[in-house]
Structure 1
Amino acid sequence: MRIIRWLDAHFEEVILTFFLYIMVAVMGYQVVMRYLFNNSVVWSEELTRYLFVWSAFVSIGYCIKKRSSIKIDQIVHLMPKVVQKVILLLTKVVSLFFFVYLLRYSFNVVQATIKSGQLSPALQMPMVFVHLASIVGFAMAIVRILESFVFTAAKNVEE
């Protein structure tokens, strides 16, 4: 149970930190090779780009969990508490349907990529691994939104 709680609290952070360290190491290696040895590494920028794509999709769930998305909430804070709760609930419901919609169509993109058998230019890696980031990111966003529904409901029961 402790492991599940720890993963719930830190899963995205660990993945994002790992990706960041890999990106820094790979780009540092590229800089050293280019400027000290006058020899450019072909695959480094491609790997960094794909890790950045994965980071962007993984961060969706992280931002939902931390409630740190871009928003303008000055007007909402001026409204009564009941209206604030209704707007928050409506926002979560719309977000949930939006991410379910995106998840549905990201499966289509991944299936098309599998059928095409496309490989990345430098790494010769199947592009399906890059496109899987959308499925993982949208699924994690859905889980975090559903989790926020549960926590909000539990909080309202306690009040």
Structure 2
Amino acid sequence: MLVVVTLQVVARLTPMSLPWTEELTRYLFIWTTFLGLAVGTRSVSHARISLVIGRLPRLLQRGALHMYFVASCTFFMVLAYTGWRLVMQQFHNGETSPALGIGMYLITTSVVVSALLALWALVESVYLDRRTRSYLETGETIG
């Protein structure tokens, strides 16, 4: 993305025209954003109400963790399903980007990929990684 934006800036300072750089930058940003969703889920860097969870009694904290898991899984499954339907629609309709001429399904695939990665990251962070699970339950990291 840095290289493409640099090309875009250089092109604006010269008589050279690179109309595809703005579009490619946008698509790379979309991919980066959606992959960041999965990374944020794994590292528990997303917004949540740890202040409230940390003040609940221990039993309710454990229940809150499972409610968080179920709600997040539901969200990511709906996101993956909806994204997949959109990818298929764009593929079958032959939608292409204006400047690059690539299939728009290649861009929308980022939604599906990130939702599936986020589902795996959610399982890892809640049930497989003891340190992250402790953080999710109490809001405190293990020394």
User: TM-score, normalized by length of structure 2?
Assistant: 0.84
Secondary structure of 2:15's partner? coil
Secondary structure of 1:63's partner? helix
Any residues of structure 2 matched to 1:1-159 within 5 Å, and which? 23-35=1-13, 37-151=14-128
> Per-residue deviation at 1:27?
0.6
CA deviation profile, 1:85-142 (whole Å, cap 9, x unmatched): 2212210111011111221121111110011101111011111100111110111011
In the alignment, which residue of structure 1 is the partner of 2:141? none
> Per-residue deviation at 1:40?
3.1
C-alpha RMSD of matched pairs (Å): 2.0
The 10-residue stretch of structure 1 (56-65 or 98-107) with the greater mean CA deviation from structure 2? 98-107
> Per-residue deviation at 1:153?
7.5
Secondary structure of 1:76's partner? helix
User: When the two structures are aligned, how many residues end up with a matched partner?
Assistant: 133
Structure 2: any 5+ residue segments left out of the alignment?
135-143
Structure 2 distance, partners of 1:144, 1:135, is: 14
The structure where helix makes up a greater share of residues is: 1
The 10-residue stretch of structure 1 (61-70 or 139-148) with the greater mean CA deviation from structure 2? 139-148
Structure 2 distance, partners of 1:87, 1:40, is: 54
Secondary structure of 1:38's partner? coil
User: TM-score, normalized by length of structure 1?
Assistant: 0.76
By relative contact order (CA 8 Å, sep 6+), the higher-ranking structure is 2
Q: What percentage of residue pairs aligned between the two structures are identical?
A: 29
> Per-residue deviation at 1:45?
0.7
